[in-house]
């Protein structure tokens, strides 16, 4: 009875391990399939992380059901998760930079003088400003200051049209008409990053000083 019980327990343990290994295998293969179906991920990884990508591709191609395969699948899944996170982070950085450059170019074409601080921009034209911030996920936020009445709404429409013409897809998540010439929350947040320097009147030179003396006489 004792011997029979031990054998049965061992058999059940083997079945449990096999079942768990099968779950790990299915999970790992599903992860690889999902990763491979995203062209940007696959192509970027194949170029920038070529060695790791090739090893993973070969490892997943050799995976097959069977006892002990769960550990292999789990290791491959862990490496794939790390690779996917690195690729996503680097692609987001590239996309962020592309959006920043596109916004800067569009504002310059609208006659603004653009100053950059990483993913943040201040565009000045006369007494008006457009403030922009592109977050790490390449989402764009815009604010305006120095405008009166509905001028800011019209100007925003022109800027969005210019951005669309440059291939930037615009989908508004939120819109707030604050009506404050000093700008809204974003303008207040970014203003300290772009200090303004007051122009000093030039000191009178020696010739101007002598001319004043002669005139005084």
Q: How far apart are CA 159 and CA 128, in angstroms?
A: 14
Rounded to two decimals, the pTM is 0.65
In this structure, the dihedral spanned by the alpha carbons of residues 208, 210, 215 and 217, taken in order and rounded to 10 degrees, is 160
What pLDDT, on the 0 to 100 scale, is given for residue 100? 95
State pLDDT tens for residues 142-200: 999 999 888 888 999 999 999 999 998 887 777 676 667 888 999 999 999 998 765 55
Domain ranges of the chain: 2-93, 110-193
Q: How far apart are CA 67 and CA 71, in angstroms?
A: 9
Q: Quick one: which of 95, 88, 90 has its CA closest to 119?
A: 95
Positions of the chain with pLDDT under 70: 1-22, 65-70, 175, 177-179, 197-217
Phi, psi values for residue 6, rounded to 5°: -65, -40
Q: How far apart are CA 120 and CA 55, in angstroms?
A: 39
């Amino acid at each position: 009875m004792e011997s029979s019980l031990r054998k049965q327990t061992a058999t059940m343990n083997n079945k449990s391990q096999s079942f768990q290994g099968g779950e790990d295998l299915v999970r790992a293969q599903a992860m690889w399939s999902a990763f491979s179906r995203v062209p940007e991920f696959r192509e970027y990884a194949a170029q920038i992380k070529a060695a790791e990508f090739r090893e993973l591709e070969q490892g997943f191609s050799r995976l097959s059901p069977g006892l002990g395969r769960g550990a292999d699948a789990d290791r491959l899944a862990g490496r794939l998760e790390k690779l996917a996170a690195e690729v996503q982070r680097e692609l987001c950085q590239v996309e962020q930079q592309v959006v920043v450059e596109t916004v800067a170019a569009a504002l310059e074409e609208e006659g603004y003088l653009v100053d950059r601080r990483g993913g943040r921009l201040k565009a000045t034209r006369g007494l008006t400003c457009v403030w922009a911030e592109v977050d790490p996920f390449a989402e764009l936020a815009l604010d305006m200051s120095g405008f009166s009445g509905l001028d800011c709404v019209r100007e925003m429409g022109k800027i969005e049209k210019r951005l669309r013409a440059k291939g930037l897809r615009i989908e508004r998540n939120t819109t707030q008409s604050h009506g404050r010439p000093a700008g809204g929350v974003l303008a207040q947040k970014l203003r300290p990053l772009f200090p303004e320097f007051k122009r000093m009147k030039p000191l009178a030179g020696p010739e101007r000083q002598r001319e004043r003396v002669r005139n005084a006489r």
